Amino acid sequence: MTNDLIYKNYCIPLLDLAGFNLDDFFGMSDDSNPLMMLIWILPIILFVFYGQRIQLMVSSNEIKKSIDRLEKFRNDTKYEFIDYLKKTFNPKTDPTKKLDDFFEYFSIMPVDLDPNGIVPKINHLIRSRDDFTRMHVKSLFTEISEFEITKVHNLLEIVTTLQMFHKATRHLYLLAKKQKNFPLILPLQMMIPFVMEEAEALKDAMTALKNGQPIGDGIGPMVVGGMMVGTTKQIISFQSVLSKSEYEGRKLLLIKAEGPNATVGRLGEGIEKIFSENKPDLIIMVDASLKLEGEDSASIAKGFGAAMGGIGTDRFQIEDVATKNSVPILAIVIKQSIHEALTIMTKEIADQALSVRLEVEKMIKENTQKNQTVMIVGVGNTLGVSQ
């Protein structure tokens, strides 16, 4: 308080002696002060004519940082992948050049002007791409097991996806800057947080894939795989297995991808085959599900319909055969974030396997009678999860 008084007592008289009037300078006594009018009008003119450009510069700087991170993720995973191949398989020739070609491969979706019959076309395209990739992975190495092929296939998909993320976001960013078009950058600004979240999850998934460790998405196969223990397994479709069991007078058909390979199998084809031989009375699907913000990880939820992600062709096959045969589909999901789904399975998610199995048994008792047949499907990447 004393310092304030000293400032006022000394500084204000000095300003008066210099002929400087604070009221005149700030326009306190005269509304037509030209200096104050200039101070207020210039920013308005600036933002009217250059507002979008200023917003573009601010937004561009933030997006540029994310694009630089995406580029680093892509480069790091690419070098990590190639280093893993060289150390694990000791190829005779350097696979870098051939892999660089793989990273640039793309898929063109079928024409959808007439949507009738488009799902079989997409299914054929995806299957052809998978078969082509596996064939060329085998050609890179003289001796490689099926387990290692599935791991390399998944690692290849991670690098390819990160490269696609980087190229697409960079394209929108450079296009907006080139045309100095702020509205053009708005969709990217809204999208980039979700892209970065998935990109970080993919980058961190490399460790689990290289080591063959279960990931969060494998909780569905883990539950059904536990129910398969002690039963006879048979291949029903590519990388998909079936076993038969019983529970309180009900016949159980247990289906999952063939573990411990890093695969989701072709469950749609397998279920269609089973329906042609033994029609079930109920289908229960167990899968991981992305949680909403605010929901607890590893929480369990039950519902109706085919619980299955991906491009949708397997889900279409299951829904189609169930509809034609009037078989209800129930679902039970384990909630988790995208990072938890793609990286090493957390203890909280793994501990829910027993709880989910108890919920499945409860659903069987509540929705079927004795002597009926129940199909239980474990959906997800069964990496590191046997049966």
**Could you tell me the residue ranges of all domains in the chain?**
51-211, 216-378
Rounded to 5 degrees, φ, ψ at 42 are: -55, -50
Characterize 269-281 residue by residue with b for buried, 16 or more Cβ atoms within 10 angstroms of its Cβ, and e for exposed: bbbbebbeeeebb
User: Quick one: pLDDT at residue 344?
Assistant: 96
Consecutive sets of 10 residues in the chain, 387 residues long: mean pLDDT of each? 46 47 50 67 73 74 92 95 91 85 88 89 93 88 89 94 94 86 82 94 95 96 96 95 96 96 95 92 97 94 94 94 96 96 96 96 95 97 93
User: Quick one: pLDDT at residue 49?
Assistant: 72
CATH architecture of 216-378: 3-Layer(aba) Sandwich (3.40)
Q: Judge whether 134 and 153 are in contact, CB under 8 Å.
A: yes
What the block records as the tokens of 383 is 């990496």
Q: Which of 365, 362, 344 is nearest to 354 (CA)?
A: 362
Q: In the chain, what's the furthest Cα-to-Cα distance? A: 107
- Report the C-alpha gap between 24 and 30 in whole angstroms: 7
The model's pTM is 0.83
Characterize 5-35 residue by residue with b for buried, 16 or more Cβ atoms within 10 angstroms of its Cβ, and e for exposed: eeeeeeeeeeeeeeeeeeeeeebeeeeebee
